[in-house]
Amino acid sequence: MNKNETYWKTNLKYLVILLTIWFTVSYGFGILLVDTLNQFTLGGFKLGFWFAQQGSIYVFVLLIFVYIYLMNRLDEKFKSKN
Partner 1 sequence: MELQYWIWIAVGISFTLYIAIAIITRASSTGEFYVAGKGVHPIANGMATAADWMSAASFISMAGIISFNGYDGSVYLMGWTGGYVLLALLLAPYLRKFGKFTVPDFIGDRYYSNIARGVAVFCALIISFTYIAGQMRGVGVVFSRYLEVDITTGVLIGMLIVLFYAVLGGMKGITYTQVAQYCVLIFAFMLPAIFISLMVTGNVIPQIGFGSTGFDGVYLLDKLDGLHRELGFHEYTSGKKTTLDVFFITAALMVGTAGLPHVIVRFFTVKKVSDARKSAGWALLFIAILYTTAPAVAVFSRTNLIETVSNKAYHALPDWFEKWEATGLISFDDKNQDGLIQYVADPEVNELKVDADIMVLANPEIANLPNWVIAIMAAGALAAALSTAAGLLLVISSSVSHDLIKKMIKPDVSEKGELIAARLSAVGAVMLAAYFGINPPGFVAATVALAFGLAAASFFPAIVLGIFSKRMNKEGAIAGMVVGILLMLFYMTKFKFGWFGGGTEKDWWFGISPEGFGSFAMMVNFAVSIIISKFTPAPDREIQELIEKIRNPNDE
Interacting residues with partner 1 (CB under 8 A): 4, 7-8, 11, 15, 18-19, 22, 26-27, 30-32, 34-35, 38, 42-46, 49-50, 52-54, 56-58, 60-61, 63-65, 67-68, 71-72, 75, 78-79, 82
Which of residues 1 and 35 has its CB atom nearest to partner 1 in the complex?
35
Query: What element of type H or E holds 7?
Result: helix 3-23
**Cα–Cα distances in angstroms (integers) from residue 45 to residues 12, 14, 56, 57, in the given order:** 36, 32, 14, 15
Report, in Å, the least distance between residue 46 CB and partner 1: 5
